Structure 1
Amino acid sequence: MTVLVIGASSQVGRFLLPRLDALECDWIGLSRQAPADDPRWLRGHLPDAMPTLPPVTAILSSGPLDGLAYWLTGTRLEGTPHIIATSSMSAETKRDSDVPTERELSLRLRDAETKLIATCASRGMPWTLFRPTLVYGAGMDKSISPIVHAAQRRRVFPLPAARGQRQPVHADDIAAAFVAALVTARARGKTFPIGGGERLSAAEMFRRARRSAGVFTLPVPLPRAALALAGLAYPGLIGPLRRLDSDLIADNSELEAILGIHPRPFRPDPATWAVRV
């Protein structure tokens, strides 16, 4: 079995490659920053800078779903590889957002899912999609890691008042789900939400992130009045600030029943925020 890993240097890809090695599965890694001295890697990116590919059994992509869907539509692959890819829970949670750009993101994700599924169906290619919640674990996410990294530099950690539930999922648990989907026939033709192994308030998520920063930081509570002022001063924060009191969670029941994947709870340590190279 030979698989193509698109986004092999992404936060999910960095955990996925060792799991494929443990499975004794041959892989080809695709990345913008492909190592020049490893013949298993190809340099490229979705959708319009893809190299010529050899025949593969499956394509595992943690890259942009719309780019994958667009590329698949215009590309004829040899055989019928199993397409396994990540979308995002934002496809649903941002569907009715007050922020136009977030509604556009939700629509783009749902359109990409529809296009990918239709392309696979027309060519007899099996597919599996994952919709993760907030992803962490390789110091590369754009949600929690930037806050932790800034706090490590400034020794100040903001703690916003936030009642919404969160379910952060470790990138390695998504990688485990990819491998399980690769070897489980019942995963084909399924879309799996995937969240972490526990649900906690957003406020508690930030408190745990602070405790795991590895350096002392001064906790700075941010009451709702301060958050409202921040939204006025920085319009780009309006969407994230409004979601602090909304639940952003996933139902893992099918993930657990079909794939046997039980994601870990949110118990980060300092190594969680170190960018893996």
Structure 2
Amino acid sequence: MKEDCVGLLGATSLVGGCLLTLLTEGGWQVCAFSRKKIARHMAQVTWRQLVLPGQNSQAEGIADWICVAPVWVLPDYFSMLERYGARRVVVLSSTSRFTKEYSSDAEEQKTAAQLAAGEESLRQWAEGRGVEWVVLRPTLIYGFGRDKNIAEIARFIRRFRFFPLFGPARGLRQPVHAEDVAAACLAALKSPAAANHAYNLSGGEVLPYREMVGRVFTALHRRPLLVSIPLGAFRVAVSWLRLFPRYRHWSTAMAERMHRDLVFDHAEAVRDLGFSPRPFRLGPEDLPA
């Protein structure tokens, strides 16, 4: 069993990239898994391609695992984790399991159900095999221009020079930086108190949706141009935008949530993981190229 080695699923994702940096800087050896074959060479990192469930794969002992791939795909790799002798598994889920559970959009409801089912599958599998589990649920991840939240807003502003809002859009948000999420993953791997617990990870600042978008304008060095439109007009606009592949996932449910407070207490993560998220400050590196 390799005591200083971490297995990492979803290593090419936004949070996965942050974790690779943290782990290698901390002296860990990393066995990084991806669905695609990776030819990248990094000190202390061994890349492996995920094989289909049921196929044999090389499996020396690795006790500590972090999964930042979608939680609902993890059950496909439970048998692989068993072959490697996993003893603790830290998994990234999302607060969307709560905020989208009763969404008006069927696809968002499906996502919430997949998140909840993935978490429950992990718990049942781990407890049945004496494996420690930790679930982390971030809300509104951003960073390095690779996220699907702030980066998408920035791309829209660059393209259309304004941003549409449904009404006053004063629902509260807590954006959390990908590096802070990665730090929480690593802390959860090492914290004895974290075993068999779930934690919400929110950002270090609470601000209205409207102000959050305004800060994206500021980071882009543009004067904020926020256009409030009624829901009916928003539906028409979204129907048009979905003709473009980049905006195919947009829905009127996104507009409806602009009025809702999507804030989560992260006091338990502070207590057990030393979680200390930064305020919402966008640097040039956080914007898409």
| TM-score after normalising by structure 1 | 0.89
1:20 maps to which residue? 23
Q: Retained in 1: the 8 A contact 2:87–2:130? A: no
Question: Which is worse superposed, 129-138 or 72-81?
Answer: 72-81
Query: What's the CA shift for 1:125?
Result: 0.6
Q: Retained in 1: the 8 A contact 2:156–2:163? A: no
Structure 1 gaps, min length 5: none
2:235 maps to which residue? 231
1:54 maps to which residue? 60
1:81 and 2:87 matched: yes
**1:77 match: secondary structure:** helix
Structure 2 gaps, min length 5: 240-249
Alignment of 1:101-250 (within 5 A): 101-152=107-158, 154=159, 156-158=161-163, 160=165, 161-213=168-220, 216-217=221-222, 219-225=224-230, 227-234=231-238, 236-250=250-264
Separation in 2, partners of 1:274, 1:74: 35
1:3 maps to which residue? 6
Separation in 2, partners of 1:50, 1:261: 38
Q: 1:159 to 1:100 in 2, by over 3 A?
A: closer
Query: What's the CA shift for 1:85?
Result: 0.8
Provide the identity percentage.
Answer: 31
Q: Per-residue displacement from partner, 1:24-71 (whole Å, max 9, x unpaired)?
A: 111111124553153611123786889544321211111010101232
Question: Which is worse superposed, 155-164 or 264-273?
Answer: 155-164
Question: Which is worse superposed, 250-259 or 66-75?
Answer: 66-75
**2:114 match: secondary structure:** helix
Question: Which is worse superposed, 74-83 or 136-145?
Answer: 74-83
Q: 1:48 to 1:171 in 2, by over 3 A?
A: farther
**1:36 match: secondary structure:** coil
Query: What's the CA shift for 1:22?
Result: 2.2
Please tell me the root mean square deviation across aligned C-alpha atoms, in Å: 2.3
